[in-house]
Amino acid sequence: MKKQDWILILCVIIVLAPFFIPATGFFDWFNSATANHPYIMAFFKFAILATLGECLALRIREGVYNKPGFGIVPRMMVWGFLGMCIAMAMVIFKTGVPAFLGSLGWKEAAAVFAPTASLTWGKVGVAFAVSVLMNSIFAPVMMTFHKCTDIHITDNGGTVAGLLKPMKMREIFATKVNWDMQWNFVIKKTIPLFWFPAHTITFILPPTFQVLFAALLGVALGLILAIKK
């Protein structure tokens, strides 16, 4: 490993250490902040962790964590915004899918899926339904938008000012998105094979950890995409 890898490992240890030291009270603060300010916390969780996933992917592909034009700060801003959208979508689908299942005749769906309910096959079944519907309806749009922002950031030199310029969506859609990769791998394969089961696990976790786990999954997906490329 190179010096930059050891520096990253040291930074990760420093960031994670307070979670495992009860005297710091950081774990309690984290739970409280997540409960009281879910969307602000979602912004920072995704801005840090999902961007880290992209940096790791770049390290695998090109041997560096950053390069001119990559645009770490703009990517963090985009991921933070998407993190808030994902947190919103999770609330919508966690609430709406059990109600939908109830309308189909499974009247106990909301009860078995409640955060205080014990882990049962019923709870797993509802979590899987939430994951399938969220990833089938919301995820393709979010993923495609994120791909367009990546291209926009790169085209504008990886600067914050460049990020704020109007996106040339028609040009990006028509000529710059690799639709073979985006459709045949990212959407058709990662959604059913990775996101369906991964978010099933997400939705059976305690609510305060769901968005954090979803952000960690972003790191994993970044590595998968890097290996694919």
98-107, pLDDT tens digit by residue?
999 999 999 9
Give yes or no: residues 129 and 161 share one domain.
yes
Lowest mean pLDDT among 21-25, 36-40, 72-76: 21-25
Q: pLDDT tens for residues 34-51?
A: 888 999 999 999 999 889
And the tokens for 69? 């034009």
**Nearest residue to 93 via CA among 214, 222, 216:** 214
Domain count, the chain: 2
Report yes or no: 128 and 71 within 8 Å, Cβ to Cβ: no
Q: pLDDT tens for residues 95-151?
A: 999 999 999 999 999 999 999 899 999 999 999 999 999 999 999 999 999 999 999
And the tokens for 165? 């310029």
Give yes or no: residues 196 and 151 share one domain.
yes
> How many Cα neighbours within 13 Å face the side chain of 74?
23
Report yes or no: 204 and 112 within 8 Å, Cβ to Cβ: no
Give yes or no: residues 119 and 200 share one domain.
yes
Give yes or no: residues 148 and 78 share one domain.
yes
Give yes or no: residues 166 and 74 share one domain.
yes
Range of the domain at 112: 37-228
Give yes or no: residues 115 and 184 share one domain.
yes
**Cα(141)–Cα(148) distance, rounded to whole angstroms?**
11
Give yes or no: residues 132 and 88 share one domain.
yes
Q: What per-residue confidence (pLDDT) applies to 166?
A: 93
In angstroms and rounded to an integer, the radius of gyration of the C-alpha atoms of the chain is: 19
Give yes or no: residues 82 and 161 share one domain.
yes
Residue 205, helix vs strand vs coil? coil
**Cα(182)–Cα(189) distance, rounded to whole angstroms?**
10
Give yes or no: residues 103 and 13 share one domain.
no
Report yes or no: 105 and 183 within 8 Å, Cβ to Cβ: no
H helical segments located in 104-138: 109-113, 121-137
**Cα(49)–Cα(70) distance, rounded to whole angstroms?**
16
Give yes or no: residues 125 and 52 share one domain.
yes
Give yes or no: residues 199 and 219 share one domain.
yes
Q: What are the φ and ψ backbone dihedral angles of 128, each rounded to 5 degrees?
A: -65, -40
- pLDDT band of 228, cuts 50, 70, 90: low
Give yes or no: residues 14 and 41 share one domain.
no
